[in-house]
Structure 1
Amino acid sequence: MTAPATSNFYRLHPRVQQWIASKKWPSLREIQELAIPPILAGDKDVIITAATAQGKTEAAFLPVFSQLVDQPAKGIQVIGLGPLKALINDQHRRLSAIGDCLDVPVCPWHGDIGSGPKQRLLKQPAGVLLITPESLEALFVLRGQELNRLFASLSYIVIDEMHSFISIERGRQLQSLMQRVEQVVGRPVPRIGLSATLGDMSLAAEFLRPGQQERVQLVQSFAKGDELKLQLRGYRSSPTPDPDEEEDETTPPPDALDIAQHLFQSLRGEKNLIFINSRRQVERYADILRNLSAEYRVPNEFMPHHGSLSKELRAEAEEALKRDHPVNVICTMTLEMGIDVGAVQSIAQIGPPSSVASTRQRLGRSGRRAGDPAIMRVYVSVPQLDSYTSPEQALYPDLVQAIAIINLLLEGWYEPPIAGRLHISTLIQQLLSSIAQQGGIRADQAWHDFCEAGPFQEMEQGLFIKLLRCLGERDLIQQSQDGLLLLGLKGERLVNHYTFYTAFSTTEEYRISTPENVLGTLPTSMPIAEEMVLLFAGRRWQVQSVDSEKQVVMVVPADGEGQAPRFGGSSGFVHDRVRQTMREIYRSTDMPVYLDDTAKTLLKEARTQFRDCGLDQEYIVGEDEQVLLFPWRGSLVMNTLQMLLLDSGLKASQEGLAIKVKGVEPDELMPYFQSLVNLGPANPLRLADVVRTKRSEKYDWVLTDELLNHNYVARFFDPQGTWETVSEICSGG
């Protein structure tokens, strides 16, 4: 490699320079050049953000390794935190290639790693530790007294795929763990966050170092990838099913067969990723495509990949992508993040993308080789219009949402992190973990560490005191005569259970096995009976036996028609900007150039339906003694507005883009909305009393109604945005 004299390459340690030269890189990438000075300085936290495949991992670790070689020390010097075991395994492979040349050990640590490497690290701590938040939590609980020895020489904390942690329980757990690591070593440790999708950099900086954004330096590359080839293909599904008739789950609908046929013809012979938003649909399409391969008498090149498959089956698909053979992996978000699966020719997305940020992540998997275009095909089905089709579904919302997300992607906009959530459930976990680690903690110290100076700064002191009382009443904690908070009997049982280390709820699952291998897991909530034929792991299996006590389902290969399991899961969060962009698309006459002929026809039909319903002028559509309200807002406003309507005694339910209100006429709603405008933004805590199902996080069962209301409001309500929306509806804006 020939670098100009001004290149930051020469600031790296000579041995790191030699390793780079051995790889015959033509030069450092822009993001790698920019990241070297602030990371070597070590006096600030750093966020590294760039497009996918721009070398963010190397941007962080080349200067980190330089520092480790230049200043060797006993003890773990770097903690690398990642969201997925598979991602940590992949990072271990990549970073070990550098570490081995520099005599810097790199150790992966998670639930699938054997005890040997872990014991060696505990005896001789050194180098880089790659770990999940859950495994780091376990270290705090089980080896709290050893942490000072392990982390005494800690120089950096690196967070990979940082966007995947922001605004969720695991993210708040991660923030707390980083804070607790610094308390163990008695000093701030530079934090480095890596991400390709961050919509608001100030909120990202707040996540990395809560309350101290001035400590965070942004390192951002605006280098763009090569050419983008994009197509959205439209399909008509079967007629809307009669609600009184049972759905046939064993016969694929015609639109699914048509989509699979196009995938089969377009992707065979190459290496591609096919993203679908649900595990159930992954199994359905894997089955259809396997059958097509058999029908055409060609090798099956289509493999499933999702979180319910065994680690061996997931690894098999990942390794197939790395080999120089054609393969198409049908996956959920499990392959969205930075696991290195080599270069793929294209990305396919079945169904509307869930968010702009995830679409950018997925698209970044394609076009990684210099000169290759990034290619993305999006497949969207809309219902055939008949007497059962609702006005909302006649707007083809899946199609228009897909167009809105693609347009926002092309504009360079991404969803910002969600701010203001309390995460009381995670605070409970962290408090219990800290008590277990230290053998006890004073209440005032806990308030300072977790809330006043820690990641739970949205928590008011009065609310924190009420939480401690609540935990005491539930026997999760108790207070000694000298004021120390200790674990209660129930608290000890919680902390000693293997599920404690996760901040999120986990479901009970069956293990699906053949006599030879474990295939994966299914939720126990799914009805499973002997002789049933299941679609799983891309094949058909007949259930031989169900052992409910051991939670094991034994299966054998089958040929009959089968059904894809229902895995559960929740609908995704939709941002206001996506819904507002959808409205602009309905109102516009512009036709996106990336639509195929069918999609263009469907968009014209959706716009005609939009105008025929009067939605180009109004927000409310009357329909058979009920109205449909279209606020054109995202999840928070929709949820708040629905609760306002229910609080007034109206029968309101969410129906996709709309809120359905039964038993009223359109002109009856407007005076009610005007009264809401006159009253100003609603009191969210009083409104939360309307909600009967407020438990959504792991330890919500512990909370009093008052604490539940505070937690729910911070997570699911937007009173100000809702008031502004109702004002807009009343003004006809």
Structure 2
Amino acid sequence: MVLHHIVNTLQWPGLRAWQQAAIRPLLGGGDALLLAPTAGGKTEAAMFPLLSRMAAGSWQGTSLLYVCPLKALLNNLAPRLAGYAGWLGRAGAVWHGDVATSRRRAILRDRPDILLTTPESLESMLVSRTVDHRSFLGDVRAVVVDEVHAFAGDDRGWHLLAVLERLAVVAGRDLQRVGLSATVGNPAELLRWLQGSAAGRRPASLIAPDDRPTALDDRPTALDDRRPGARTEDGAAPPSAAPPGDVEVDYVGSVHNAAKVIGLLHRGAKRLVFCDSKKLVEELGQALRAAGVTTYLSHASLSADERRRSEQAFAESRDCVIVATSTLELGIDVGGLDHVIQINAPGTVASFLQRLGRTGRRPGSRRNCLFLTLDDDGLARAAALLLLWARNWVEPVVPPPEPRHIVAQQVLALTLQEGRVGDRLWASGWRGLPPFDRTAEPIVRYLADAGFLDVDDGMLFIGTEAQRRFGFRHFSDLLAVFTAAPQFTVFAGRQEIGSTDPALLSDQVDGPRLLLLAGRSWRVNHIDWNRRRCFVEPVDTTGGRARWLAAPSAGAGALSFPLMRAVRDVLLGADPPVKTTSRAAERLARLREEYLDRVHLGGTVIRRERTGDVHWWTWAGRRANATLIATLGDLADLRGRAADDQIRLRSDLTAASWRAATGDLAERLCLPEVDGEALAGLKFNAALPPRLAEATLAARLADLDGAAAVLSDPVRFVVR
């Protein structure tokens, strides 16, 4: 039946060879990780075999979950998946935080065969008093996790794994797990991670396109296969792995100049511009509109309606620009794009590949990306990232270490779900999956001792401290893994525009208070401090300000050891094999001259400035440098924080004292110090013993391997 509709409804001549390779393992009930570029057909490669399995097995009730990291992506996919389900007389539905209560009631009454949701909404169903989770979710047999790499690299991944294990307990069976991802550096590890407690006892397949012209056969691929096009554990790949495309680097020096270049280039075409901060999105959007360019904006602090209007208008237009943060990096469909433009550089090669993959989808077109760099750091990072890309290197996806705070959250959530849990049986809720197993006993004891859990006759119940800290609005705060920075909602009349940082509403200003939001300036008329609301009206001026302070988190914005070492390579003269404008080349030459005595091909440089300050230019990334500061002890100048490129040392340091003190440091590395501000960014840290909360954060702030690599390098001393 599915094959009939592929040929007759979609009018496809057939599936791609790699999609055919997914059929046998998925029909057989095995787990899988499907790897392909954006718009490579991953959704169809997963759904067509699973729909066939649903029909052949006469699955009843809500039997297939489709999990995404973004609500907008779910909304975007819903019509397509509903159409595929309709081929078999089946139905699909979306359930997330923006879905109305009336719609949720309808879903519970008339259960869809396919439910599109987020991990947070899935857990809300498990703990909700209005959802009979055993009845509603007890028929689930398979789960598709889209953009699985976006989960696995942070705490949402641990949360997802834990919720899937609890769901498997409710369903009374292993759930077939199928992950969809773009290129990653460690696919085999990512697949084993996705399998959770079933890793090693269920069949698992890695399936991806072969980048060579030869066909990929339809045999399931084992975990230890080394297919052409597959990356190895260290992120290396064959020469054909870097996708073809037109990539260029330019240096423009300011947001105003970037807007000028974008306005002049590719007129009549659809352009997607990526910025890595909401503030930069707003400033560039306003500059483009001032230059007469039809411009739309998308970022997380715009209201859902505002983003939806922008994305829909952009999808239906031709000669226009949409400026976005990483919200449009994932597979949200905004129509056929002509060009991708990157302001400065993303933080990872993987992000660049996602963004590059938004173009080149139409026959005869090529993938393309233009880097417009605003400053020296942006230029060096762009060149370094493209150097890594040219070397066929992609970051491995590594879950954050020691997620003890997520363990505490899950113990509380399971207790809320079941009402009561045996004080010796709680670990069965995750089927033995570490770290949610018996090794978490100290955390459970602390939860009981601190009043987060009550203990009575061998049973655990939600305690008064958990109700006090997390019980607001039906424990909604307990179900959100991240701490969000406080923001005020901005309204123009009754229309919600988005949200802004409260500091912009309390700073001293001369004249009217102007905000920059949705690409235009607004005058603040009234602030409701109790309800955290701000009421504005539009003004014809460009004087508005945009600002958002992120909640503190471990290592936020830190660059990796490989990327910083690539920056060093660029400063030493390495050029990525991409087009570079003459002004970018000239600026890079000046930058290399400026850093001539801070980089060294054979090792690192300790440089004494004329002021007497001493800096160690490690080019190792902030986490490795924080580890080095902790390890160096009084050799480091504790007044200076770790940067990505260097750390500050004691002003009286000499070459002799350095050599005498650092001979064995690589054998006794220390974790970084943890301050209270950083600890506050660790959600649920209050539900942990203080020493465990600090140990958790310290492990996340560290890069032991990077620090050891730096200490193994020779050191050159330079005196200015």
Q: Same fold (TM over 0.5)?
A: yes
Q: Does the CA contact (< 8 Å) of 2:179 and 2:191 recur in 1? A: no
Q: Give yes or no for the alignment of 1:321 onto 2:314.
A: yes
Q: Which residue of 1 aligns with 2:652?
A: 664
Secondary structure (helix, strand or coil) at the match of 2:62 reads: strand
Q: Which residue of 2 aligns with 1:484?
A: 459
Secondary structure (helix, strand or coil) at the match of 2:113 reads: strand
Q: Deviations over 1:607-665 (max 9, x none)?
A: 22232446445421211221121222233312211223456563232244111235334
Q: Give yes or no for the alignment of 1:273 onto 2:272.
A: yes
**What is the CA-CA distance between 1:184 and the residue it aligns to?**
0.7
**What is the CA-CA distance between 1:720 and the residue it aligns to?**
4.5
Q: Which residue identity does 1:714 align to in structure 2?
A: A
Q: Which residue of 2 aligns with 1:600?
A: 585
**What is the CA-CA distance between 1:669 and the residue it aligns to?**
6.2
Distance 1:310 1:20, change over 3 A: farther
Q: Does the CA contact (< 8 Å) of 1:203 and 1:419 recur in 2? A: no
Q: Which residue of 2 aligns with 1:354?
A: 347
Secondary structure (helix, strand or coil) at the match of 1:94 reads: helix
Q: Which residue of 1 aligns with 2:543?
A: 562
Distance in 2, Cα, partners of 1:207 & 1:226 = 26
Higher mean alpha-carbon deviation, 83-92 vs 506-515, is at 506-515
Q: Give yes or no for the alignment of 1:230 onto 2:247.
A: yes
**What is the CA-CA distance between 1:683 and the residue it aligns to?**
4.5
Distance 1:421 1:80, change over 3 A: same
2:432 alignment partner, one of 445, 449, 453: 453
**What is the CA-CA distance between 1:369 and the residue it aligns to?**
0.8
Higher mean alpha-carbon deviation, 580-589 vs 54-63, is at 580-589
Distance in 2, Cα, partners of 1:411 & 1:430 = 41
**What is the CA-CA distance between 1:217 and the residue it aligns to?**
1.5
Q: Does the CA contact (< 8 Å) of 1:268 and 1:301 recur in 2? A: no
Q: Give yes or no for the alignment of 1:523 onto 2:508.
A: no
Distance 1:558 1:66, change over 3 A: same
Distance in 2, Cα, partners of 1:128 & 1:191 = 14
Q: Give yes or no for the alignment of 1:435 onto 2:415.
A: yes
Higher mean alpha-carbon deviation, 301-310 vs 703-712, is at 703-712
Q: Does the CA contact (< 8 Å) of 1:301 and 1:328 recur in 2? A: yes
Q: Which residue of 2 aligns with 1:116?
A: 102
Distance in 1, Cα, partners of 2:674 & 2:306 = 46
Distance 1:688 1:612, change over 3 A: closer
Q: Does the CA contact (< 8 Å) of 1:512 and 1:554 recur in 2? A: yes
1:161 alignment partner, one of 125, 147, 150: 147
Q: Give yes or no for the alignment of 1:407 onto 2:398.
A: no
1:539 alignment partner, one of 520, 545, 553: 520
Distance in 2, Cα, partners of 1:472 & 1:108 = 37
Q: Which residue of 2 aligns with 1:337?
A: 330
Q: Does the CA contact (< 8 Å) of 1:74 and 1:125 recur in 2? A: no
Distance 1:257 1:85, change over 3 A: same
Q: Which residue of 1 aligns with 2:366?
A: 373
**What is the CA-CA distance between 1:54 and the residue it aligns to?**
1.0
Q: Does the CA contact (< 8 Å) of 2:349 and 2:385 recur in 1? A: yes
Q: Which residue identity does 1:233 align to in structure 2?
A: D
Distance 1:20 1:151, change over 3 A: farther
Secondary structure (helix, strand or coil) at the match of 1:272 reads: strand
Distance 1:101 1:322, change over 3 A: farther
Distance 1:689 1:324, change over 3 A: closer
Q: Which residue of 2 aligns with 1:46?
A: 32
Distance in 2, Cα, partners of 1:693 & 1:318 = 35
Q: Which residue identity does 1:667 align to in structure 2?
A: A
Q: Does the CA contact (< 8 Å) of 1:286 and 1:303 recur in 2? A: yes
Distance in 1, Cα, partners of 2:340 & 2:132 = 46
Q: Which residue of 2 aligns with 1:510?
A: 488
Q: Which residue identity does 2:467 align to in structure 1?
A: E
Q: Does the CA contact (< 8 Å) of 1:156 and 1:191 recur in 2? A: yes
Q: Which residue identity does 2:391 align to in structure 1?
A: E
Q: Deviations over 1:345-372 (max 9, x none)?
A: 0100011221111111111101111220
| Deviation >6 Å, runs of 4+ | 689-692
Distance in 2, Cα, partners of 1:65 & 1:316 = 32
Distance 1:578 1:683, change over 3 A: closer
Q: Give yes or no for the alignment of 1:84 onto 2:63.
A: no
Q: Which residue of 2 aligns with 1:141?
A: 127
How many residues were matched structurally? 673
Q: Which residue of 1 aligns with 2:405?
A: 425
Distance in 1, Cα, partners of 2:207 & 2:568 = 35
Q: Does the CA contact (< 8 Å) of 1:145 and 1:438 recur in 2? A: no
Q: Give yes or no for the alignment of 1:630 onto 2:630.
A: no
Percent of aligned positions that are identical: 26
Secondary structure (helix, strand or coil) at the match of 1:545 reads: strand
Q: Which residue of 2 aligns with 1:552?
A: 533
Distance in 2, Cα, partners of 1:270 & 1:153 = 47
Secondary structure (helix, strand or coil) at the match of 2:461 reads: strand
Q: Deviations over 1:298-324 (max 9, x none)?
A: xx4111110010111111121123215
Secondary structure (helix, strand or coil) at the match of 1:402 reads: helix
Q: TM-score, normalised by structure 1?
A: 0.87
Distance in 2, Cα, partners of 1:321 & 1:25 = 27
Distance 1:691 1:488, change over 3 A: closer
Q: Specify every segment of 5 or more residues in structure 2 that has no aligned partner in the other structure, as ranges.
A: 212-240
1:468 alignment partner, one of 438, 444, 449: 444
Distance 1:503 1:628, change over 3 A: same
**What is the CA-CA distance between 1:473 and the residue it aligns to?**
3.2
Distance 1:591 1:509, change over 3 A: closer
Secondary structure (helix, strand or coil) at the match of 2:59 reads: coil
**What is the CA-CA distance between 1:16 and the residue it aligns to?**
4.3
Distance in 2, Cα, partners of 1:648 & 1:47 = 47
Distance in 2, Cα, partners of 1:144 & 1:155 = 23
Q: Does the CA contact (< 8 Å) of 1:533 and 1:561 recur in 2? A: no
Distance 1:584 1:41, change over 3 A: same
**What is the CA-CA distance between 1:226 and the residue it aligns to?**
7.7
Distance 1:490 1:690, change over 3 A: closer
Q: Does the CA contact (< 8 Å) of 2:598 and 2:617 recur in 1? A: no
Higher mean alpha-carbon deviation, 284-293 vs 610-619, is at 610-619
Q: Deviations over 1:229-262 (max 9, x none)?
A: 11100134xxxxxxxxxxxxxxxxxx22111100
- Written as runs of structure 1 = structure 2, the 5 A alignment for 1:202-281 is 202-210=188-196, 212-214=198-200, 215=202, 216-223=204-211, 227-236=244-253, 255-281=254-280
1:96 alignment partner, one of 60, 82, 92: 82
Q: Which residue identity does 2:325 align to in structure 1?
A: T
Distance 1:402 1:485, change over 3 A: same
